[in-house]
Amino acid sequence: MNIKILNTLSSFLTLALVLILSMSCSAQKGWEVGGWIGASQYYGDLNDGINVKDPGLALGFLGRYNFNHRVSWRAGLSYGRVGADDASSDNNFNRNRNLSFQSNLFDLSTAFEFNFFPYIHGSDDRYYTPYIFAGLNIFRFNPTTNLDDETYNLQEYGTEGQSLGSEYGLINGGFLLGGGFKWDINYDWSFNVEISYRSLWTDYLDDVSTVYPDLDLITSQRGEIAARLSDRSLVEGIGVQGRQRGNSTNNDRYVFLSIGIMKYFGRLECPAISDL
C-alpha cells in the first residue's frame, strides 16, 4: 500500500473524529439500513490498466450510524463476482501468456463517512450531499479457471511453485476508499449511488504474482494438471523457470459500483432555538 493512500486514510479518520466530538449537539443521530446492487471490477496482473473489462454482478447490505449531519460510521457485507482473461488483452505478451481466472468475493467492510454538505433527513433544503469514506475490509476469495471443460481451484495447485502446505490464504484484507451521492426520497428513505475501491494486501486474487516455477518440480509434487495450470502459454519459451508471470510490485484491487436504498431509523437531537 503506498504512503499517499495511508496518509489520506489517516487524515480522513482524524477529521472524522474531530467532527464527531465538535458536533454532538444539533445533530441528527440514528441508524440507516439498506441494500444495494451494482457491478464489481477487478484490476491486477490480468487487467493491468484502467480498463473496464468483464465486470461482474455485485450486491450487498449496508448499515450506517449517523453521529451528526456530517459524520457517520458504516459497515457492509458485500458479494461480487470478478474475473479476467488474457485472451481479451491488448498486450501481446498477455495474450500469449493465456491465463484466466474467476472468483466470488465475500467482503466485510467498515469505514468512517463524511458528508460535504449538512445532511438532514426530511429537510426541505438539506436532503442531499456528496460524501466520501475510508476504512478497512476483510474478504474471502477463491480463484478458479477452466481447463478441458473442468473447473479447478487454482490455489490448491501451487501454480507459482508454492510448496505443499505453503499456499496463499483465501482470506485477506485491504484498505477501502470511496465516495458517492445520497439524497432523500422522504424522511424515512433515501437513494445512495457510490463507488468503492479496495486496495488489497494480497497479489493473488488472480493467482498470478511472480515468476514461472520449475514445472518439472510442480509435476512431481502436484501432478501434470498443476503444471498445465501454471503454464498455459501459446508460444514456446514463455513459461521458462524464472521468467515473469506477474508483477509482484503491485497488489490486486477491485471496485464496487452501486446504487442502493436506505431506511432511516433516527431522530433529531438538540434542535436550534429558532426551530422551536
CA–CA distance, 119 with 121 (Å, rounded to integer)? 7
Q: Cα 98–58–255 angle (5° rounding)?
A: 65
pLDDT, tens only, 22-53: 544 445 789 999 999 999 999 999 998 777 88
Domain with residue 221: its CATH number is 2.40.160.20
Q: How many CB atoms are located within 10 Å of the residue 34 CB?
A: 18
In this predicted structure, what is the pLDDT of residue 51? 79
In this predicted structure, what is the pLDDT of residue 260? 98
pLDDT, tens only, 101-124: 999 999 999 999 999 999 998 888
276 occurs within a structural domain: no
53 occurs within a structural domain: yes
Could you tell me the pTM of the whole model? Answer: 0.85
76 occurs within a structural domain: yes
Domain hosting 262: range is 3-24+34-266
CA–CA distance, 108 with 99 (Å, rounded to integer)? 28
Residue partners of 35: CB distance under 8 A and separation at least 6: 59, 60, 61, 62, 260, 261
* Residue type at position 148: D
User: What total number of domains does the chain contain?
Assistant: 1
Instruction: Give pLDDT < 50 ranges for the chain.
Output: 1, 21, 23-26, 273, 275-276
256 occurs within a structural domain: yes
**Contact indicator for 225, 147 with CB cutoff of 8 Å:** yes
238 occurs within a structural domain: yes
In this predicted structure, what is the pLDDT of residue 24? 47
274 occurs within a structural domain: no
User: What distance, in Å, lies between the first and last C-alpha atoms of the chain?
Assistant: 50
The residues that bridge with 175 in the sheet, in sequence order, are 136, 199
In this predicted structure, what is the pLDDT of residue 121? 86
